[in-house]
Amino acid sequence: MNARVRNRFDPVDGLLLLNKPAGLTSNQALQRVKRLLNARKGGHTGALDPAATGMLPLCFGEATKVCSYLLDADKTYRVSVRLGIATDTGDADGQEIEHADIPALSAEQWHAALQDFVGEQMQVPPMYSALKKDGQRLYELARKGQTVPREPRRIEVYQIELLEVAGSRLVFRVSCSKGTYIRVLVEDIARARGTVAHTARLHREVVGDFSAEAMLDLSAMESAAAGGVEALREHLIAPDRALTGLPEVQLSSCAGERFRAGQVIPVDDPAVEGLVRVYAGDETFLGVGELSASGRLAPRRVFSTGEKNS
């Protein structure tokens, strides 16, 4: 019986970039799309809060092997801020816990305030987060009214662009490293200007090298699947597209087979060092390897995929 249940699903390989709607958890969104694809195996990377919208990379089959690399990717968000009101969760879903006057700053002054937060910095994760303390999620403790010490973590904000400021509304675009909590960034920006704030809306526009143009709305995926599962599968993105930030190494067909078998491959005159994308001589994507300065290419994640993504 279990075998029959497993066989109902198909071995689907590839990524879809969902423009996640508000009101769904990342896992709920994944399960809906997984059913549309009739996919056997799936995962998501870079979870978004239920209230947040935007790019949620969904990985299926062999593409689940790139999840860890996308978790490490830089991200870009459009952030709408409500000034003058703080909430316990740092976003619009929380309870109001503090009010403060809003400083009368010009757009130029707000621009300058935002630029103060560009660069490397230490950030204390919020209590309402999925991080664990002694085996318990922080948000579980927070819901019980508990607050525990959290170790600050190093993050980097690459760029902040002011988009709008009017009354209690502040809107900006931020590009940042993995592990950045936008809710905390918003609170820190407000605090630096003598007020409080919370994130009213959060929309993720970019993950790694994937841009907003590549996203599909859930309704578009449902419409495509209504015409047959193959119509939706045509939108799948090859797994190596998630790894374009890694240098490329080409192997002969013979060396490629050895790489796939888990063997370390010698590479003459290596031009790079570290993690690389590995392809066979016929442009077949093999996986991720680690290349040493001495020219030894060790397999790190081996993939069973088709031709190189164009």
Is 268 among the catalytic positions? no
d(CA 296, CA 289): 10
d(CA 121, CA 154): 6
Characterize the bridge pairing of strands 248-250 and 274-279: parallel
The answer to whether 42 and 169 have CB atoms below 8 angstroms apart is no
Residue type, 111: H
CA nearest to 287, candidates 65, 41, 67, 12 = 65
Q: Which of 10, 13, 49, 72 is catalytic?
A: 49
d(CA 302, CA 308): 14
The answer to whether 79 and 110 have CB atoms below 8 angstroms apart is no
Q: Residues with catalytic annotation?
A: 49
